[in-house]
Amino acid sequence: MQNISNYNKYLSYKSGRLRIENIFLEDIAMKYGTPTFCYSANQIKDNLHNLKNSFSKIKPFICYAMKANFNKEIVKLMAKNNLGIDVVSKGELKESLKCGIKNNKIVFSGVGKTDEEIKFALKKNIKQINVESEEELEEIENQAKSLKKKINISLRVNPNVDAQTHDKISTGRSEDKFGISQEKVEKLLKHYKESKYLNINGLSIHIGSQICKISPFKKAFKKIRNLILSLKKKNIFIDCLDIGGGIGIIYEVNKDKVFKISDYAHLVEENFSDLGIEIIIEPGRFLVGASGVLISKVIRVKKGKRKDFLIVDAGMNNLLRPSLYNSKHSIFPVKSSNKKTKYDVVGPICETSDIFRKSYALSKQEKNDLIIICSVGAYGSSMSSDYNLRGFANEVLIDGNKIF
């Protein structure tokens, strides 16, 4: 069996029983039912500590990308650790404020902000809006004028860099819907320089998600650095640079390879520490991805002609990533055993795509046994639905002996 702590430092077997931090998962299942998302608070804290300590020359402003997981206890944990929040909707903005995030620590990103959302952000006096188009910029100026407000703006640059990740989560290519071309950025900065309602003092980039190679970041950072230096020569000065997120995590220990976070930090400092500007980073998956597991109960083992199906009560409505991205999450039994067999691990949804793993080796399972699906802290619960009216999974945050 793989070492389960490779996925989450706070997962371990004790006398054959699986626990997260100091709580046994079968006790969680008994109290809260299944399926249940379970998060390790200390794994999140460790990830944040590692990220902060990887920087030595600069102190970036860390804004948690809330779309990864908007569980209230997790957002409150970010607030307690003095993080900002990157939001992409009015709903996320409102929830951030409710959970204790200060308004001047909120960055509003996203390509499709509505008039209502823009107005709400202006009224709440947030840190900045990351703008994705000339048309959006015009709409924000009109809204700001009517409210007699002035707002900080960062223009999201599309650097035309392939993030070398899944096609559906690559956002920095010229054919993607995100950002503004470098040629148009200079034009907009000049045009709005004297605006009474827009303070365009920053640039932003985000090239994709689950990026496992450092080379796409090298290309993107070099391009944005050169753009800032080019603008400076023309007396156009940038005070703030939001370099987005996208740092990948390991989903399968023996197959996935991800760069060290210290290498990422070094690259950031190498490119931007001498510019004297504020650097914002927006990690989501990196902070919370490994922290979460999904506890699920075996409904039955179905004997097939050529294979056995392990049918569990978690489905693609709870964890969409395998169906949407063909992603592969590692699975472990809640009670360990040396007797192994191979299963297609599938959910109860009436879709052939409701499958977590094919021909996957697990200890022999029976009806009502429990398994966990690892690395679901990001884009698990936040992408869930009530498809087939199966209901939403419960969620708990574990901090030592405490359950939230």
Question: What's the rounded Cα separation, in Å, for the pair 362 and 301?
Answer: 13
**Count of CB atoms situated within 10 Å of the CB of 397:** 21
**Fold exhibited by the domain 41-288:** TIM Barrel (3.20.20)
Give counts: helices (H), strands (E), the chain: 11, 20
Instruction: Using a pLDDT cut of 90, give the percent of the chain over it.
Output: 86
Q: Is CATH 2.40.37.10 correct for 4-40+289-403? A: yes
Would you please indicate which residues are annotated as catalytic (active-site) residues? 350
Residue 288 has pLDDT above 60, yes or no: yes
The pair of structure tokens assigned to 17 is 């029983």
Backbone angles phi, psi at 351, to 5 degrees: -145, 135
Backbone angles phi, psi at 131, to 5 degrees: -95, 140
pLDDT number for residue 162 = 54
Residue 171's pLDDT band, with cuts at 50, 70 and 90, is low
pLDDT average, residue stretch 366-374: 97
The Cα-based distances of 45 to 37, 42, 258, 278, 374 in angstroms read 18, 5, 20, 24, 18
**Residue 5 or residue 103, greater confidence:** 103
Residue 176 has pLDDT above 60, yes or no: no
Q: Tell me which H or E stretch contains 361.
A: strand 355-363
Give the long-range contacts of residues 302-308, CB within 8 A, separation 24 or more.
307/342, 307/343, 307/344, 307/359, 308/341, 308/342, 308/343, 308/344
Residue-averaged pLDDT of the chain? 93
pLDDT number for residue 339 = 84
Residue 102 has pLDDT above 70, yes or no: yes
Q: Does the model's pTM come out above 0.85?
A: yes
Domain boundaries, the chain: 4-40+289-403, 41-288
Residue 168's pLDDT band, with cuts at 50, 70 and 90, is low
Environment class of 179 (CB within 10 Å of its CB; exposed 0-12, middle 13-18, buried 19+): buried
| Amino acid identity for residue 124 in this structure | K
The pair of structure tokens assigned to 223 is 């391009």
Question: What's the rounded Cα separation, in Å, for the pair 109 and 115?
Answer: 14
The Cα-based distances of 130 to 74, 85, 135, 180, 203 in angstroms read 24, 13, 13, 11, 8
* 308 in Cβ contact with 271 (< 8 Å): no
**Count of CB atoms situated within 10 Å of the CB of 60:** 21
The pair of structure tokens assigned to 10 is 């706070």
pLDDT, tens digit (0-9, with 9 covering 90-100), for 20-65: 999 999 999 999 999 999 999 999 999 999 999 999 999 999 999 9
